[in-house]
């Protein structure tokens, strides 16, 4: 039965005797290794297990074995050593490939499902199950060549979009697009290895080596250029209210330093040059006495901050916020300065400020 939607040939034998393909000699004759990759497994129906369910699981095992046979070729040529062994368990025989090359196995498996010929058989008289998967080398080679081209087109598109985002001042979004291109290129390298494995005659044109190399260099160059390329100018000030609420006698710049460090950790560069900045961040801090330490009460202060973020590219204010007398932004201390210093250093206050500004910077 041919399932057109999945382009997947699936045959279930309805006969009562094992078909010829269950024999090694028949498979070797009809599916020569120079033209085909194959996977063959057999098992028996366990007590209480539905035969159809067991057969579907066996088909997946045959498919995986087929894919792993391709990976063995790649690893033997270019990657690492593999251990291959035959196991017998509960009447089931299969070849197990031990490998750490998991991504390549997944890539190969996804590709082989495109044009795989699958056969399976259940012998109700004996409970024996058989599954056989086969795919032509030529079909796989054609698929891999197409996939390489498709993915390289995606890389070029991602690079183009990143350049447009950079021009629009959205450098972090541009960086994410370049990261996307880098991930796709990593997948292309797997497909190139697979193509060489199934078609040793593949040349530089079919592998698109020059194009891949050029795109790789472009991606690396863009990543370097976009590394912490979002510049933020910070205007930090402290407001004094009155004797009771003012914990400091001068501006210590505690929160400003904390936010500057946080921006650096989030791929931004803090600059003293307003003209080269992509954004202007204004932070105006103040303190409020929460409790005066009298009558057995602790001396505590709130750390307050008003802020705004201005996009110099669009010439628009994108964020305006105020954190005043917040339950997560106070602390007790030996004296007003000690209490307020602890309050400004609380991680909760840092996160509240970052929640306001980072989404706009990273857009």
| pLDDT value of residue 224 | 87
| Angle, helices 137-167/209-226, rounded to nearest 10 degrees | 30
Q: Taking a C-beta distance cutoff of 8 angstroms, is the pair 208, 215 a contact?
A: no
CATH for 230-362, options being 3.30.160, 3.30.310, 3.30.420, 1.10.510: 3.30.160
Residue 245: per-residue pLDDT = 95
Integer Cα distance of 52 and 54 in angstroms: 5
CB atoms within 10 A of CB 160: 12
Fold of 139-226: Methane Monooxygenase Hydroxylase; Chain G, domain 1 (1.20.58)
> Looking at residue 109, what is its pLDDT?
59
- pLDDT at residue 278, rounded to an integer: 92
Tokens, residue 72: 């063995």
d(CA 45, CA 59): 14
Closest among 323, 225, 321, 326 to 281, alpha carbons compared: 321
| CA dist list (Å): 57 to 8, 42, 129, 249 | 16, 11, 10, 74
pLDDT at 227: 82
pLDDT score of 89: 37
Domain ranges of the chain: 2-137, 139-226, 230-362
pTM beyond 0.75: the answer is: no
pLDDT tens for the chain, 363 residues: list them. Answer: 333 333 344 444 445 688 999 999 999 999 998 899 899 999 999 888 898 999 999 999 998 888 887 776 665 544 433 333 343 434 444 433 333 345 555 666 565 556 788 999 999 888 999 999 998 989 889 999 999 999 999 999 999 999 999 888 888 889 999 999 999 998 898 889 888 888 888 899 999 999 999 999 999 999 888 888 899 999 999 999 888 999 999 999 999 999 999 999 998 999 999 999 999 999 999 999 999 988 777 999 999 999 999 999 889 999 999 999 999 999 999 999 999 999 999 999 999 999 999 999 987
3-class state of residue 196 by DSSP: helix
At residue 168, the pLDDT reads 85
């Amino acid at each position: 039965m041919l399932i057109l939607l999945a382009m997947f040939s699936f045959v279930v034998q309805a006969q009562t005797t094992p078909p010829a393909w269950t024999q090694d000699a028949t498979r070797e004759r009809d599916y020569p290794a120079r033209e085909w990759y194959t996977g063959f497994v057999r098992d028996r129906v366990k007590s209480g297990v539905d035969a159809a369910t067991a057969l579907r699981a066996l088909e997946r095992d045959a498919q995986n074995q087929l894919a792993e046979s391709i990976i063995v070729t790649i690893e033997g040529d270019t990657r690492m050593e593999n251990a291959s062994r035959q196991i017998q368990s509960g009447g089931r025989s299969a070849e197990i490939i031990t490998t750490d090359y998991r991504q390549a196995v997944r890539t190969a498996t996804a590709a082989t499902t495109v044009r795989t010929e699958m056969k399976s058989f259940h012998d109700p008289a004996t409970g024996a199950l058989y599954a056989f998967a086969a795919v032509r080398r030529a079909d796989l080679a054609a698929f891999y060549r197409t996939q390489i081209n498709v993915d390289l087109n995606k890389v070029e598109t991602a690079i183009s979009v990143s350049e447009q985002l950079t021009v629009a001042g959205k450098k972090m979004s541009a960086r994410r697009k370049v990261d996307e291109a880098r991930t796709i290129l990593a997948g292309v390298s797997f497909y190139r290895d697979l193509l060489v494995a199934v078609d040793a005659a593949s040349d530089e044109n079919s592998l698109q080596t020059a194009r891949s190399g050029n795109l790789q260099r472009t991606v690396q160059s863009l990543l370097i250029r976009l590394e912490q390329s979002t510049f933020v100018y910070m205007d930090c000030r402290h407001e004094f209210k009155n004797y009771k609420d003012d914990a400091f006698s001068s501006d210590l710049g505690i929160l400003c330093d904390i936010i500057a460090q946080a921006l650096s950790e989030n791929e931004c560069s803090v600059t003293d040059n307003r003209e080269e900045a992509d954004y202007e961040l204004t932070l105006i801090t103040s303190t409020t006495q929460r409790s005066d330490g009298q009558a057995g009460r602790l001396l505590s202060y709130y750390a307050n901050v008003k802020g705004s973020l201005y996009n110099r590219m669009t010439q628009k204010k994108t964020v305006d916020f105020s954190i005043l007398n917040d339950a997560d932004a106070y602390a007790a201390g030996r004296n007003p300065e000690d209490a307020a210093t602890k309050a400004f250093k609380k991680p909760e206050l840092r996160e509240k400020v970052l929640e306001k500004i980072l989404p706009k910077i990273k857009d």
